[in-house]
Structure 1
Amino acid sequence: MARVLHLTELSRWSAGGDVEAESLATEGFLHASPDEPTMLAVANRFYARVPEPMVVLVVDTARVDAEVRWEAADPAPPPGVGAEVLFPHVYGPIPRAAVTEVLHPVRDAQGTYTALESSPGQA
Protein backbone atom coordinates (compact mmCIF):
# COMPACT_ATOMS: atom_id res chain seq x y z
CA MET A 1 0.00 0.00 0.00
CA ALA A 2 1.31 3.40 -0.94
CA ARG A 3 0.15 5.95 1.61
CA VAL A 4 -0.16 9.66 0.84
CA LEU A 5 -1.58 12.56 2.84
CA HIS A 6 -4.16 15.02 1.51
CA LEU A 7 -5.04 18.20 3.44
CA THR A 8 -8.61 19.45 3.12
CA GLU A 9 -11.22 21.44 4.97
CA LEU A 10 -13.16 19.59 7.66
CA SER A 11 -16.40 20.87 6.09
CA ARG A 12 -15.44 19.39 2.69
CA TRP A 13 -14.69 16.01 4.29
CA SER A 14 -17.86 16.11 6.41
CA ALA A 15 -20.00 16.82 3.33
CA GLY A 16 -19.50 13.21 2.19
CA GLY A 17 -18.82 11.80 -1.24
CA ASP A 18 -15.55 11.64 -3.11
CA VAL A 19 -12.92 14.20 -2.16
CA GLU A 20 -12.25 16.95 -4.68
CA ALA A 21 -10.73 20.43 -4.54
CA GLU A 22 -10.48 23.46 -6.78
CA SER A 23 -7.04 22.32 -7.93
CA LEU A 24 -8.63 19.37 -9.75
CA ALA A 25 -10.37 21.83 -12.09
CA THR A 26 -7.58 24.42 -12.28
CA GLU A 27 -4.47 22.19 -12.29
CA GLY A 28 -5.88 18.78 -13.19
CA PHE A 29 -4.93 17.07 -9.94
CA LEU A 30 -5.29 17.03 -6.15
CA HIS A 31 -2.21 17.87 -4.12
CA ALA A 32 -0.89 15.40 -1.57
CA SER A 33 2.21 14.94 0.55
CA PRO A 34 4.44 11.90 1.01
CA ASP A 35 4.88 12.13 4.79
CA GLU A 36 3.99 14.05 7.96
CA PRO A 37 6.93 16.52 7.97
CA THR A 38 6.20 17.50 4.37
CA MET A 39 2.48 17.81 5.11
CA LEU A 40 3.18 20.11 8.06
CA ALA A 41 5.46 22.27 5.90
CA VAL A 42 2.73 22.53 3.25
CA ALA A 43 0.09 23.37 5.87
CA ASN A 44 2.28 26.11 7.34
CA ARG A 45 3.16 27.57 3.95
CA PHE A 46 -0.28 27.57 2.33
CA TYR A 47 -2.88 27.21 5.11
CA ALA A 48 -1.47 29.10 8.10
CA ARG A 49 -4.08 31.85 7.80
CA VAL A 50 -7.06 29.60 7.03
CA PRO A 51 -9.40 29.86 10.02
CA GLU A 52 -11.50 26.82 9.11
CA PRO A 53 -10.59 23.51 10.77
CA MET A 54 -8.58 21.26 8.48
CA VAL A 55 -8.12 17.49 8.34
CA VAL A 56 -5.47 15.32 6.77
CA LEU A 57 -6.75 12.28 4.91
CA VAL A 58 -4.51 9.23 4.83
CA VAL A 59 -5.09 7.81 1.37
CA ASP A 60 -4.30 4.28 0.16
CA THR A 61 -3.33 4.95 -3.46
CA ALA A 62 -4.12 1.34 -4.40
CA ARG A 63 -7.79 2.20 -3.78
CA VAL A 64 -7.73 5.33 -5.97
CA ASP A 65 -9.02 4.87 -9.51
CA ALA A 66 -7.16 7.92 -10.82
CA GLU A 67 -3.49 8.06 -11.72
CA VAL A 68 -1.12 9.13 -8.94
CA ARG A 69 2.09 10.77 -10.20
CA TRP A 70 5.07 11.64 -8.00
CA GLU A 71 6.26 15.03 -9.24
CA ALA A 72 8.59 17.81 -8.21
CA ALA A 73 7.13 20.89 -6.53
CA ASP A 74 6.39 23.70 -8.96
CA PRO A 75 7.81 26.30 -8.65
CA ALA A 76 9.57 25.25 -5.41
CA PRO A 77 8.83 23.18 -2.31
CA PRO A 78 7.74 24.95 0.87
CA PRO A 79 10.38 26.02 3.40
CA GLY A 80 11.88 23.05 5.20
CA VAL A 81 11.30 20.60 2.34
CA GLY A 82 14.22 19.60 0.13
CA ALA A 83 14.17 20.16 -3.61
CA GLU A 84 14.56 16.39 -4.12
CA VAL A 85 11.19 15.62 -2.47
CA LEU A 86 8.54 14.44 -4.91
CA PHE A 87 4.88 15.20 -4.24
CA PRO A 88 2.07 12.77 -5.03
CA HIS A 89 -0.49 14.34 -7.36
CA VAL A 90 -3.84 12.54 -7.69
CA TYR A 91 -5.31 13.06 -11.16
CA GLY A 92 -8.94 12.58 -10.14
CA PRO A 93 -11.20 12.53 -7.10
CA ILE A 94 -10.20 10.55 -4.03
CA PRO A 95 -12.89 7.97 -3.24
CA ARG A 96 -13.96 7.87 0.41
CA ALA A 97 -13.15 4.15 0.39
CA ALA A 98 -9.49 5.05 -0.24
CA VAL A 99 -9.28 7.07 3.01
CA THR A 100 -7.89 4.81 5.72
CA GLU A 101 -7.56 7.39 8.48
CA VAL A 102 -8.44 11.00 9.25
CA LEU A 103 -5.81 13.02 11.10
CA HIS A 104 -6.23 16.40 12.74
CA PRO A 105 -3.50 19.03 12.39
CA VAL A 106 -2.43 20.50 15.74
CA ARG A 107 -1.40 24.17 16.06
CA ASP A 108 0.74 25.76 18.73
CA ALA A 109 -0.07 29.08 20.44
CA GLN A 110 1.38 31.02 17.48
CA GLY A 111 -0.81 29.14 14.98
CA THR A 112 1.98 27.00 13.53
CA TYR A 113 1.03 23.45 12.58
CA THR A 114 3.22 21.16 14.68
CA ALA A 115 1.77 17.63 14.51
CA LEU A 116 -0.97 15.39 13.20
CA GLU A 117 -3.21 13.57 15.67
CA SER A 118 -5.53 10.67 15.03
CA SER A 119 -9.02 10.35 16.42
CA PRO A 120 -10.41 6.90 17.18
CA GLY A 121 -13.26 5.74 14.99
CA GLN A 122 -12.70 8.21 12.15
CA ALA A 123 -12.29 7.49 8.43
Structure 2
Amino acid sequence: MAELLHLTERPLWEAARGIGTYEMSTRGRTLHEEGFIHCSLPHQLAGMAELLYGTGSRTGAGDEDLVVLVIDTDRLPAPVRYESLRPGGEEFPHIYGPVPVEAVVGVRPWPNKEGDPA
Protein backbone atom coordinates (compact mmCIF):
# COMPACT_ATOMS: atom_id res chain seq x y z
CA MET A 1 0.00 0.00 0.00
CA ALA A 2 1.26 3.43 -0.93
CA GLU A 3 -0.09 6.48 0.87
CA LEU A 4 -0.69 9.70 -1.00
CA LEU A 5 -1.47 13.00 0.69
CA HIS A 6 -3.98 15.60 -0.43
CA LEU A 7 -4.46 18.98 1.25
CA THR A 8 -8.00 20.29 1.22
CA GLU A 9 -10.50 22.41 3.12
CA ARG A 10 -12.42 20.55 5.82
CA PRO A 11 -15.88 21.56 4.47
CA LEU A 12 -15.02 20.04 1.08
CA TRP A 13 -13.99 16.77 2.74
CA GLU A 14 -17.14 16.75 4.88
CA ALA A 15 -19.28 17.25 1.76
CA ALA A 16 -17.49 14.35 0.05
CA ARG A 17 -18.18 12.10 3.02
CA GLY A 18 -21.86 12.83 2.53
CA ILE A 19 -21.89 11.77 -1.12
CA GLY A 20 -19.30 8.98 -0.95
CA THR A 21 -16.59 10.38 -3.26
CA TYR A 22 -14.08 13.20 -3.18
CA GLU A 23 -13.71 15.07 -6.48
CA MET A 24 -11.69 18.25 -5.86
CA SER A 25 -8.40 18.45 -7.72
CA THR A 26 -6.75 21.39 -6.02
CA ARG A 27 -7.76 24.69 -4.48
CA GLY A 28 -10.72 26.02 -6.43
CA ARG A 29 -10.60 23.38 -9.19
CA THR A 30 -12.53 20.15 -9.50
CA LEU A 31 -11.47 16.79 -10.89
CA HIS A 32 -13.72 17.50 -13.88
CA GLU A 33 -11.97 20.83 -14.58
CA GLU A 34 -8.39 19.59 -14.05
CA GLY A 35 -8.65 15.97 -15.26
CA PHE A 36 -7.02 14.51 -12.14
CA ILE A 37 -6.66 15.04 -8.38
CA HIS A 38 -3.35 16.57 -7.30
CA CYS A 39 -1.59 14.70 -4.50
CA SER A 40 1.77 14.79 -2.75
CA LEU A 41 4.25 12.48 -1.17
CA PRO A 42 5.13 13.35 2.45
CA HIS A 43 8.26 15.34 1.51
CA GLN A 44 6.28 17.39 -1.05
CA LEU A 45 3.34 18.41 1.13
CA ALA A 46 4.78 21.51 2.84
CA GLY A 47 5.78 23.04 -0.49
CA MET A 48 2.36 22.38 -1.97
CA ALA A 49 0.67 23.85 1.11
CA GLU A 50 2.71 27.02 0.76
CA LEU A 51 2.04 27.26 -2.98
CA LEU A 52 -1.71 26.66 -2.78
CA TYR A 53 -2.64 28.16 0.59
CA GLY A 54 0.28 30.38 1.61
CA THR A 55 0.74 28.40 4.81
CA GLY A 56 4.39 29.31 5.40
CA SER A 57 3.46 32.31 7.52
CA ARG A 58 0.72 30.47 9.41
CA THR A 59 1.47 29.34 12.92
CA GLY A 60 -1.84 27.63 13.63
CA ALA A 61 -5.31 27.06 12.30
CA GLY A 62 -6.37 30.14 10.40
CA ASP A 63 -9.51 31.11 8.57
CA GLU A 64 -9.08 28.15 6.24
CA ASP A 65 -9.79 24.91 8.08
CA LEU A 66 -7.30 22.70 6.23
CA VAL A 67 -6.90 18.95 6.54
CA VAL A 68 -4.60 16.38 4.98
CA LEU A 69 -6.31 13.36 3.46
CA VAL A 70 -4.23 10.19 3.63
CA ILE A 71 -5.20 8.07 0.62
CA ASP A 72 -4.48 4.34 0.33
CA THR A 73 -3.67 3.64 -3.32
CA ASP A 74 -4.74 0.00 -2.93
CA ARG A 75 -8.30 1.22 -2.37
CA LEU A 76 -8.44 3.42 -5.48
CA PRO A 77 -10.32 2.24 -8.57
CA ALA A 78 -8.73 5.05 -10.61
CA PRO A 79 -5.14 5.00 -11.92
CA VAL A 80 -2.35 6.95 -10.22
CA ARG A 81 0.35 8.50 -12.39
CA TYR A 82 3.51 10.29 -11.30
CA GLU A 83 4.03 13.32 -13.51
CA SER A 84 6.13 16.46 -13.59
CA LEU A 85 5.21 19.93 -14.74
CA ARG A 86 8.23 20.03 -17.03
CA PRO A 87 10.64 17.42 -18.42
CA GLY A 88 13.10 16.31 -15.75
CA GLY A 89 11.18 18.09 -13.00
CA GLU A 90 9.97 16.62 -9.74
CA GLU A 91 7.14 14.16 -10.20
CA PHE A 92 3.92 14.43 -8.23
CA PRO A 93 1.21 11.79 -7.89
CA HIS A 94 -2.05 12.43 -9.74
CA ILE A 95 -5.23 10.38 -9.31
CA TYR A 96 -7.19 10.08 -12.55
CA GLY A 97 -10.66 9.67 -11.13
CA PRO A 98 -12.80 10.22 -8.03
CA VAL A 99 -11.52 9.10 -4.64
CA PRO A 100 -14.00 6.89 -2.77
CA VAL A 101 -14.24 7.98 0.87
CA GLU A 102 -13.25 4.41 1.82
CA ALA A 103 -9.83 5.04 0.23
CA VAL A 104 -9.14 7.83 2.73
CA VAL A 105 -7.52 6.04 5.68
CA GLY A 106 -6.69 9.14 7.70
CA VAL A 107 -7.57 12.80 8.05
CA ARG A 108 -5.03 15.02 9.81
CA PRO A 109 -5.18 18.69 10.71
CA TRP A 110 -2.92 21.13 8.90
CA PRO A 111 -0.58 22.20 10.25
CA ASN A 112 -0.07 19.34 12.64
CA LYS A 113 0.36 20.54 16.22
CA GLU A 114 3.75 18.82 16.49
CA GLY A 115 4.89 20.68 13.38
CA ASP A 116 4.89 17.51 11.29
CA PRO A 117 3.14 18.26 7.97
CA ALA A 118 1.53 14.85 7.76
TM-score by length of structure 2 reads 0.76
Counterpart among 69, 73, 79 of residue 67 in structure 1: 79
CA–CA distance in 2 between the matches of 1:42 and 1:12?
A: 18
Look up the equivalent residue of 2:21 and give its one-letter code.
D
Alpha-carbon contact 2:45-2:117 (below 8 Å) kept:
no
CA–CA distance in 1 between the matches of 2:101 and 2:112?
A: 26
Alpha-carbon contact 1:40-1:115 (below 8 Å) kept:
no
2:44 is matched with 38
2:106 is matched with 101
Alignment of 1:9-88 (within 5 A): 9-15=9-15, 16=17, 17-21=20-24, 22-35=29-42, 37-48=43-54, 51-72=63-84, 74=85, 84-88=89-93
| Unpaired segments ≥5 residues, structure 2 | 56-61
| C-alpha distance after superposition, 1:10-47 (max 9, x if no partner) | 00111212111134112200000011x31111001111
Q: As a proportion of its length, which structure holds more helix?
A: 2
2:8 is matched with 8
| Unpaired segments ≥5 residues, structure 1 | 77-82, 109-113, 118-123
The CA deviation at 1:107 is 7.8
Taking a change above 3 Å as real, the CA distance of residues 38 and 18 of structure 1, as seen in their structure-2 partners, is same
| Local SS of the residue matching 1:41 | helix
RMSD (Å) for aligned C-alpha atoms: 2.4
